[in-house]
Amino acid sequence: MSFRNRIAAVSLAVSACFCVAEAHAACHGRFMNPLTDICWSCIFPLTIGASAILSDGQPDIANPANPLCACSNPPRVGVSIGFWEPVRLVDVTRTPFCLVGLGGIALDPGVDVPRGAQVGHDSQTRNSFYHVHWYANPILTWLEVLLDFPCLEKGSLDLVYLTEVDPLWADDELSAILNPEAVLFANAPAKAACAADCVAASAGMPIASLFWCAGCQGAIYPMSGHVATHIGGVQASTLLTQRMTAKMHRQLTAWATAGSRGLCGPYPLPIMDKTHYKMQMVYPIPNTAKEAGQCCQPFGRSTLLWGAGKAFPIAGEDFAYQIFRKRNCCAGAW
């Protein structure tokens, strides 16, 4: 099936579940063009065992040292490979039911939900609220780039989760149902530790043990749509992309695929390891240029290094990000 036909099928499926509202100025978006809007160097480094075959200057995390591997279900012997697989798409929007990544389709299911907003408390302090949408988007599979390659997630572009229908997303107190440990990190020393995560993420990769930190963007907790310190749309949207990924892990709807445990298939990881992910902005400005050496950003990297000029009034205040997930796989006969 061609790319155009696949997009049309997704649009029809969404329309079958919701009534599509009349187009209005509050909802903006664009279908991602995989040829021009994706920075394909993000899939690197490509490794066999612990050895990099092609890196293109991209950062990486540890890979299984042994180049040979074996799995029992199904039984197979193969080669341990590693790469970063583009598998998810995330919308961050002010307008409820505005599908930024599906071309700016505005849905009207007849449900009254909070709208996104930015609130200024004084001349220096602002907070904000956004909704987030989570899509399954295994690009390499639906583009049929690699046929019969066993290490790719199967499927097509599909809308999986909308925070508009999640009562926890708009209520910080209710969100504690998912993350009761948040109270342990609501103190000055825990927040100060996030400075080290910011530095590490900006220089290379974030610090996995500081799981409550979102690097330079703030804190993973609460796992809601409220941004306590809104610096700009790019900063707020990258923070909420990280929170949404952590939320999906906590709800066991996102599984890990990295490391020796991932060689034979995905495994549950309720506390997200943020070093397993990179993100690339695809709307409003596709970030395909290698700014500061990269066009994909590790979670927590300072937006000062790459976010300038990536947002603009009206049509450029909603965002979409392609998520690349670290994949280690035992590639052999299935």
Largest Cα span, the chain: 63
| Contacts of the segment 52-61: beta carbons below 8 A, 24+ positions apart | 57/290, 57/293, 57/294, 58/84, 58/294, 58/296, 59/204, 59/205, 59/294, 59/298, 60/205, 61/205, 61/258, 61/275, 61/276, 61/326
Q: What confidence score (pLDDT) does residue 310 get?
A: 95
What average pLDDT score do residues 92-108 get? 95
pLDDT per position as a tens digit, 23-41: 444 899 999 999 899 999 9
Q: Place 83 in a pLDDT band, splitting at 50, 70 and 90.
A: very high
Residue 240 pLDDT exceeds 50: yes
Q: How far apart are CA 241 and CA 132, in angstroms?
A: 8
Q: Place 150 in a pLDDT band, splitting at 50, 70 and 90.
A: confident
pLDDT per position as a tens digit, 41-65: 999 999 999 999 999 889 999 999 9
Tokens of 108: 């009207």
Torsion angle of C-alpha atoms 152, 156, 158, 161, degrees rounded to 10: -10
Q: Report the candidate in 267, 257, 249 with the shortest Cα–Cα distance to residue 64.
A: 257
Q: How far apart are CA 244 and CA 277, in angstroms?
A: 12
Residue 16 pLDDT exceeds 50: no
- Domain regions of the chain by residue span: 3-118+130-165+255-332
Strand partners, 127: 119
Least confident of 21-35, 251-265, 274-288, 317-331: 21-35
